[in-house]
Chain A
Amino acid sequence: MMDLTQPQWVKHVVFHPFEGFEDLRWKKGGTLKYTAVIIVALFFALIAFDRWCGFQFRPLPDAMFSVVPYIMKSVVYFFAWVLGNWAICTLLDGEGTMKNIAIYSSYALIPYIVEVYIQVFLSHILVRAEGVFFSTVYYVGIIWTVLLLFNAIKAVHQYSFTKTVVAIILTIAAMLVILFLAVLFLSLFQKVYVFFYSLYTEILYRLRV
């Protein structure tokens, strides 16, 4: 029973939103390699959506391109989610390890990523009057991913429905705290860097004169 290869696990989980993750947990399926691939795919999906969509659906991209916001929206948010969820659910008697949280959450993102690529493709062959297809794809993808993500968290920690809801709300709060601290640290380090740099220039100046 359920002797699936890794690609088969992906398919099973995505197309069985309610028991897929339970099966995955039971059989200890899933691998971090796929998580990495999925996050990279998410990163490119976000870029594609902003820059390669048809002009009739999306505004022209800025002439300046910065990769940082896209790293932020894919990698950083994902890690903040995993970290926040792990921190919260460890306190709330969750059974998931950090590795499993990362794997399950990333598998849950697949419908959204696929949806974005489909949107990018559709934006080149649809006109505005047919925009309902464009938005339908979007809503289907989003709802599917939310459903998967919810069940992923529920399965990985073996929670009840209400506890999962509470855990997810707390996770989002934890993410905000993490990101806030990250920004704080960044600005702090920048100040420290500037301090040492000015020290360095000062010393150089003294040495020369």
Chain B
Amino acid sequence: MKNKSRRLLKQCAAAGLVCLLSFSAVSLPVSADEPYDVYNYNYLGEAVPSQAGYLAERSVSGLDLGTTALNAPSDLFKDKDDFFYLVDSGNNRILKIDSDFTQIVQEYKSFKMEDGSETTLKNPKGVFVSPDTGLMYIADNENARALIVNPDGTVFREITKPASTVYDQQLTFLPQKILCDNAGNVYIVLNNTTKGSAMFNADGEFIGYYGANSVAPTAEVIANHFWNAIASEDEKKYRSRSTPTAFDNFDIDTVKGFIYTSTSSGSTDTDIIKKVNPEGYNLFDYMSGYTWGDLFSTWYSGTSYKTKIVDVDIGDDGSINCLDSTTGRVFQYDKEADLLFIMGATGDQVGAFSQGNVTALETKGENCENIYVLDAGKGTVTVFGQTVFGEIVHEATALYNGGYYEEALGPWLEVLKRDGNYRRAYLGISSAYYNMGRYKESMEYAKKADASARYNRAFERYRSQWLREHLTQLLIGIVLIVIGIRLLKYVIRKQKNKKKHSEPAASGSGT
């Protein structure tokens, strides 16, 4: 009888286990809508399943826009009125597209020079429109010039190879990307120098280089430096020198004026994304614990697939969006360089890109509601739209980074309901409770986020709060314990004395 019931129990347990296993197997894919698994990194640096912050809505080709197919497009830019500028390099034209990304507003193929002649573009690579003056800056690559064009299509200025001695005259001048800052200075990324971007003042004069990458101080570099220092002049000719990698794309945060650069070279792990201040220093150097792109490179049949950031875009909310051409992924970070979302993949579906061929990304909206990714291989622009989850995260992030911790509590709790792996929600909730004086809860969430400094801070306040509330009880307790110990000792001594007096013979046999 007993045996039978035990067997029944065993069978039930087995059935339950099978149910559980199959259930978890079924519910594993987080969302079925994307052609890839959505993930995020937890505090241990492990990739964990996550909710999608963006969904690919549609992919737009040249034909969808009412023109011929795009041919190797290389840059996408959005001006302050939300018009898009698409550099269609293969067709030597620039397309101005409306803010919904449905039709072409204007097609730029040729421009009127000051002397009245027409000039055409040849393999243009980059475009920028100044928010202040409305001038359009074009990196006209194979014409070896940069054009600054008035809104009406007449050329305002032409920048060609500078005659300055600072510019090595043996080098060509082939502009790749271009932008201008609030002061009207023009920055041009060239593909043949590691000194940084060429910088021209508002009058078009070459004034130097800006924002070069630094050489990571690896053991090899240091050793090389040492040997170079003691080598003779003859030997030096044959020795290699450590040069930094060159960045190949940049964007400007038009609100704050900082220039962000991105480096796609696979031979470096430093300076992938830089936030360059006017002096040329990378402000991210003063932070710690940030990473760009995937934390691990994948090995597949002898090839290493490492993150290769080809474009960076600063959203209107200050978010840093990076485009990885190896995996076709977009990494979105907030302005403190904390990872928000990862989207995209390589493949043929909408939301996936041809491998190694994505060239540019652009964002739109106050909270980055849309992300646009330009795929040169397919000749399309894929439009990502924010999900409800993405909206809540953005809302919470904006409040949190603005210092409105208590206001961010609601959104963060909502984020946790939808994705319990989202670490920043725990941090946000911890901060909110801390500001509200609910230190016990703040400690709890700090612990869940594995943020011990935050825990320490909350604990300090919790302790003083506790002491303030329980001081009288604590003092009474201490006094009582002291008196108790005294009393106990007294009683024991008395009993011992009694024993000694009553049986004096017993004390002699102790060992």
A3 neighbours in B (Cβ, 8 Å): 510-511
Q: A59-B452, A60-B447, A60-B450 in contact; A54/B459 too (CB < 8 A)? A: yes
B510 neighbours in A (Cβ, 8 Å): 3, 5
A159: min CB distance to chain B, Å: 29
B459: min CB distance to chain A, Å: 6
B46: min CB distance to chain A, Å: 12
The total of interchain contacts (Cβ-Cβ below 8 angstroms) comes to 28
Task: Select one of A59, A60, A125 contacting B463, CB under 8 A.
Answer: A125
Q: A3-B510, A3-B511 in contact; A56/B459 too (CB < 8 A)? A: yes
A200 interface contact, C-beta 8 A: no
CB interface residues, A 132-153, toward B, < 8 Å: none
Question: Once the chains are docked, how many angstroms separate the CA of A156 from the CA of B453?
Answer: 47
Question: Once the chains are docked, how many angstroms separate the CA of A133 from the CA of B460?
Answer: 16
A128 interface contact, C-beta 8 A: yes
Specify the chain A residue showing the minimal Cβ separation from B456.
A56
B359: min CB distance to chain A, Å: 43
Q: A3-B510, A3-B511 in contact; A128/B456 too (CB < 8 A)? A: yes
A127 interface contact, C-beta 8 A: yes
B447 neighbours in A (Cβ, 8 Å): 55, 60
Question: Once the chains are docked, how many angstroms separate the CA of A149 from the CA of B459?
Answer: 38
Size class of the A contact interface (CB-based, 8 Å): 10 to 19
Complex contact A56–B463 (CB within 8 A): no
B455 interface contact, C-beta 8 A: yes
Size class of the B contact interface (CB-based, 8 Å): 10 to 19
Against A, the Cβ 8 Å flags (1 = close, 0 = not) of B71-87 are 00000000000000000
Against A, the Cβ 8 Å flags (1 = close, 0 = not) of B493-511 are 0000000000000000011
CB interface residues, A 1-36, toward B, < 8 Å: 3, 5
Complex contact A127–B452 (CB within 8 A): no
A125 neighbours in B (Cβ, 8 Å): 463
Complex contact A55–B455 (CB within 8 A): yes
B423: min CB distance to chain A, Å: 13
Question: Once the chains are docked, how many angstroms separate the CA of A56 from the CA of B456?
Answer: 5
A63: min CB distance to chain B, Å: 11
A175: min CB distance to chain B, Å: 34
Question: Once the chains are docked, how many angstroms separate the CA of A3 from the CA of B459?
Answer: 49
A54 neighbours in B (Cβ, 8 Å): 459
Question: Once the chains are docked, how many angstroms separate the CA of A59 from the CA of B449?
Answer: 12
B5: min CB distance to chain A, Å: 31
Question: Once the chains are docked, how many angstroms separate the CA of A59 from the CA of B452?
Answer: 7
Q: A127-B459, A127-B460 in contact; A56/B452 too (CB < 8 A)? A: yes
Specify the chain A residue showing the minimal Cβ separation from B457.
A127
Question: Once the chains are docked, how many angstroms separate the CA of A128 from the CA of B456?
Answer: 7
Question: Once the chains are docked, how many angstroms separate the CA of A59 from the CA of B456?
Answer: 12
B195: min CB distance to chain A, Å: 44
Question: Once the chains are docked, how many angstroms separate the CA of A129 from the CA of B457?
Answer: 10
Specify the chain A residue showing the minimal Cβ separation from B446.
A55
Task: Select one of B446, B450, B463 contacting A127, CB under 8 A.
Answer: B463
Complex contact A56–B511 (CB within 8 A): no
Against B, the Cβ 8 Å flags (1 = close, 0 = not) of A56-67 are 100110000000
B21: min CB distance to chain A, Å: 21
A143: min CB distance to chain B, Å: 27
Against A, the Cβ 8 Å flags (1 = close, 0 = not) of B208-229 are 0000000000000000000000
A129 neighbours in B (Cβ, 8 Å): 460
Against A, the Cβ 8 Å flags (1 = close, 0 = not) of B432-447 are 0000000000010011
Question: Once the chains are docked, how many angstroms separate the CA of A187 from the CA of B511?
Answer: 49
Question: Once the chains are docked, how many angstroms separate the CA of A3 from the CA of B455?
Answer: 52
Question: Once the chains are docked, how many angstroms separate the CA of A192 from the CA of B117?
Answer: 90
Q: Which 5 A-B pairs have the closest CB atoms?
A: A56-B456, A127-B460, A128-B456, A55-B455, A55-B447
4 further contact pairs, Cβ within 8 A, besides A59-B452, A129-B460 = A5-B510, A55-B447, A55-B455, A56-B456
17 A-B pairs whose Cβ atoms sit less than 8 Å apart in the complex? A3-B510, A3-B511, A5-B510, A55-B443, A55-B446, A55-B452, A55-B456, A55-B459, A56-B452, A56-B455, A59-B450, A60-B447, A125-B463, A127-B459, A127-B463, A128-B453, A129-B460
